[in-house]
Structure 1
Amino acid sequence: MNTILNEKMIPFKELEKKVFDYTCEIGRMIIKTILESYDGHLLETRNKRELRCKGRRQTTIKTVMGEVEYSRNVYQTKDEEGRKVWVYLLDKEMQMDKIGLISTNLAEKIASVVTDNSYNKTAEIISSTMGQTISHGGAWNLVQKLGERISEEETNR
């Protein structure tokens, strides 16, 4: 704390932004650590006869705190008809219902903002208030994917 007081004073708006960015960075590191720990646990406790580990794959998920890069194991198994299929146990067990690489929380925030604003304004609002940057095209693509999901759900009823 004393070190901070000895530094040149910065405007509060800048201080707030720096603290927010730092907090998001810590949050991303925590999420990565937890996801990879869960994945390690799943590797050890899986049904080894049914799920053959084929190694780790790097991936990224866009969250309200920014992009989280982590690695997870992929497993080979067989479907009901005996065909080979590959699954990510971590995604299944954590119910990671993503829209592409976008987390459900971020998708909900974007959808909420876009209902009252243009895609350009939505991108501006999301990029300035969250740890994630998005373009107006990215917001539009997300809304299209959400619409497709809703349409599929309505068709399946």
Structure 2
Amino acid sequence: MTMDELMATEQEYQEMLTRWDMEDKAREERMKELDELDRLTAKAKEMRQQMNLMPGRWSGIWAKYMEEEKPAQWIEILQSGRVQLMLGQVDMEYNQKYEQMKAEMKKKRGLNHIFQQRDFMGYTRAIMAMEDEIVSLLAQQLTNQA
């Protein structure tokens, strides 16, 4: 091997070591971020349990999402004293949306008293499937807007 080849090999080796160091540092930073997220999530859960919150259907979905995905913001809300007000607003708003969507979908799908009298089990299955669909849509909307 010539001196130039040895120098090139040494340079490639040094570049590889530098790249590995950078990857290790990036991995360490990511691990620190994940540890901090875990710490915040645990703190948020602990605070929620201490406050003994009793959220409704929609505010429960929202609170769980905030606790797991945005723990820093959730902790701020818990510490601010606004949590009960916000949970109530979420439940009220999404209960109204649920009832409105349910009425519109029942009408659109022809789920009326006549259908109910003709095929009670079919009507019941259709209503339950529709309600599951509405809950899924609204839960997705709720967590996307948070």
**What is the TM-score of this pair, normalised by structure 2?**
0.33
Larger helix proportion of the pair: 2
Compute the TM-score of the two structures, normalised by the length of structure 1.
Answer: 0.31
Between the two structures, name the one with larger relative contact order (CA 8 Å, sep ≥ 6): 2
Larger radius of gyration between Structure 1 and Structure 2? 2
